[in-house]
Amino acid sequence: MMHDLNDLVTVVIPVLNEEKAIARVIGKVKEEGYYNILVVDGFSSDDTFYQATKNGVQVIYQKGKGKTGAIETAIQNVDTQYMVILDGDCTYDPKDIENVVSPLSASDLVIGVRALGRKNIPLFNRIGNRLINLIFNLLMGTNLQDVCSGMYGLRTDFSQNLTFKTEGFDVEVEVAAQASKYGKVSQVPIRYHDRVGRQKLQPVKDGLHIIFRVLLMAVKLRLNGKPPKGEIPPLHDNEPTHTLSHTRAPPRQ
């Protein structure tokens, strides 16, 4: 099964100054049997690009600004049926890739919900995430548990129809909003670990910006009844949306 998944999936790792973590992340992804790995570098000022390259994976520089630019660049370069995105700071566990990929046969977006190891998320960030989820769900009419998660899977053909107005850490919310409006979303539990290296997220500034973007996106999506780039490729009829996938849960820590 793993070899079949490897042929179908590209693991995308957006990075910026992750020289201390990126080699470890790549190694753990390979240990799980995934070798289609794309590292998208946001013009790191440290040794990230070299560390990734010497580990034998494809490394490219992103186009555009911020994490959004990295995700857009990945979408333009992935040619497998599915992609799984995870941060390059060791916070997300490659052991969860299979859980994220499995529901993509019947979903456009699969969000990895940081259910195990939440203590590794700083308290202030946890409070902010809960507030963002609450506002998102109220405005979008959804029941999503972790719209800011940095580990998620996408159908590649669906992703190619997404449009992006953000530049920063709100890209995940923008993906979730469009998938909720025009596609089908599933959720699976994943692990979350301590990050390696310096945190780039500024909780107050970035949190308020994300909330503003949620409000703006909700208004635009409610007014716009059509997908942003025309027809989204059809998936399957009569499939439930916004359900917690019943895939194998990771072991408790």
Residue of 235, 250, 252 whose CA lies nearest to 98:
250
Q: In the prediction, which pLDDT does 213 show?
A: 67
Q: In the prediction, which pLDDT does 211 show?
A: 62
Measured CA distances, 115 to 24, 118, 149, 176 (Å): 23, 6, 11, 18
| Whole-angstrom distance, CA of residue 113 vs CA of residue 93 | 12
Q: How does pLDDT run along the chain (253 residues), one tens digit per residue?
A: 454 778 899 999 999 999 999 999 999 999 999 999 999 999 999 999 999 999 999 999 999 988 999 999 999 999 999 999 999 999 999 999 999 999 999 999 999 999 999 888 888 888 888 988 998 898 888 999 999 999 999 999 999 999 998 776 689 999 999 999 999 999 999 999 998 856 555 555 555 656 666 666 666 666 565 554 545 444 443 333 333 333 333 443 4
Name which CATH class applies to 2-244: alpha beta
Helix axes 123-140, 171-182, angle to 10 degrees: 30
Classified as helix, coil or strand, 98 is helix
CA angle 60, 61, 62 (to 5 degrees): 115
Structure tokens at 42: 């946001």
Structure tokens at 9: 């999936």
Give the residue extent of every domain in the chain: 2-244
Q: In the prediction, which pLDDT does 195 show?
A: 86
Structure tokens at 158: 């669906």
Q: In the prediction, which pLDDT does 45 show?
A: 96
Q: Is the pTM of this model over 0.85?
A: no
Q: Which residue has the tokens 């716009």?
A: 224
Q: In the prediction, which pLDDT does 252 show?
A: 38
How, if at all, do strands 109-116 and 185-191 pair? parallel
Q: In the prediction, which pLDDT does 27 show?
A: 98
Residue of 164, 173, 155 whose CA lies nearest to 73:
164
Q: Which residue has the tokens 């799980």?
A: 32
* DSSP 8-state secondary structure symbol assigned to residue 96: G
| Whole-angstrom distance, CA of residue 177 vs CA of residue 187 | 14
